[in-house]
Amino acid sequence: MILLWTISLLLGTVAGTEVCYDKIGCFTDNAPWSGVSGRPGKSLPKSPQVVNTRFLLYTNENQGSYQVIVADASSIKNSNFKTSRKTRFIIHGFTDTGENSWLSNICKNLFKVESVNCICVDWKGGSQASYPQASLNIQIVGAEVAYFVKVLQSSLGYSPSNVHVIGHSLGAHAAGEAGRRSSGAIGRITGLDPAEPYFQDTDALVRLDPTDAKFVDVIHTDASPFVPNLGFGMSQNVGHLDFFPNGGKSMPECKSRLATETVDLEEKGARFSLTCNHLKCLDYYTESILAPNGFTAYPCASYTDFTANKCKTCPSGGCPQMGHYADKFSGKTSAVNQVFYLKTA
């Protein structure tokens, strides 16, 4: 009996519409996770073995090559991870991989301005599936990150408030799941164009929302409706601060390139020009790390008013910087769904 119980924990025990795994908890196909408007069908995320979440650690000491670590005290202690530093997890999206260059490029820029534990989260085993399945698999990724944070806290005395999770597209919602399963104790979550399909206007449990961390900031760059315009990102405000550069729908570089050529973006999982807007948030965040005052954003009732120069002055509390330094804004958590606009070059 004990042997069967142990095997069921390791492999996952299905009871009706719920499956549970050792360490990371349980998952269900009940509402609001599936079978509801915006999330059709009834299905469960794939197992942790299939999703195969890996943690690739870069630090100031090993900037050019990662160390694979697991959520175990000895693995972490035997790596270059230092509890004196902040920890920033970076989570990729649909069809992507944690070894793609944009994740390590963020780490490289971070090393120029701080000492940091930069962990690229690879879940290609779950992201390279059909989109509906991948949108469910993010629950496993979020739970794995939450468990890692739990180990840091329980075994190394590391505060979750020193953790920052950065997620792109589906990865933004995985970050939200990590925050939810950490009871909102994570210091910060940054959503880089959170994915729209299966998440827009859904219950806050299944998507990124302001309760997932002490501070949640979001950059929207592809917020046109998925139908009919194929906008992959959410238009819904889901953070404390929601930034809409260039109005959040069409980025200048993408518009000019689409007019002249079919663009190969040279990124695995994002080879078509139609994903350009969805990917520009990665450029903006990466650049913002080295430009503390380069992305000033302004509160405004609409982008139309902003482009009419009706909102080009900052209120008494100042204006936030979109990107890495958004957390320096004094009013960052004074309210939720604060909207800001800016233009980029």
Q: Is 193 a catalytic residue?
A: yes
Confidence of residue 13 (pLDDT cuts 50, 70, 90): very low
pLDDT for residue 2 is more than 70: no
pLDDT digits (tens, 9 = 90+) for 52-74: 999 999 999 999 999 999 999 99
Say whether 278 is catalytic: yes
| Mean residue pLDDT across the chain | 91
Q: Which of 104, 127, 135, 169 is flagged as catalytic?
A: 169
- Catalytic one among 193, 209, 217, 242? 193
CA separation for the pair 156, 217 (Å, rounded): 28
| Distance (Å, whole) CA 185 – CA 214 | 6
pLDDT value for 256: 60
- pTM for this predicted structure: 0.91
* Residue 75 DSSP code: H
Question: Residues with Cβ < 8 Å from 111, sequence gap 6 or more?
Answer: 58, 60, 63, 118
Predicted confidence at residue 128, as pLDDT, reads: 97
Domain 49-342, what fold? Rossmann fold (3.40.50)
Q: Which H/E stretch holds residue 133?
A: helix 131-156
Domain ranges of the chain: 49-342
* From 92, 220, 240, 278, the catalytic residue: 278
The C-alpha angle with vertex 324 and arms to 292 and 303, in degrees rounded to 5, equals: 85
Given a cut of 90, whether residue 302 has pLDDT beyond it is: yes
pLDDT of 7 strictly over 90: no
- How far apart CA 250 and CA 269 sit, in angstroms, is 20
pLDDT surpasses 60 at 12: no
Q: Annotated catalytic, 283? A: no
Contact 193, 278 (CB under 8 A): yes
pLDDT at position 6 is 34
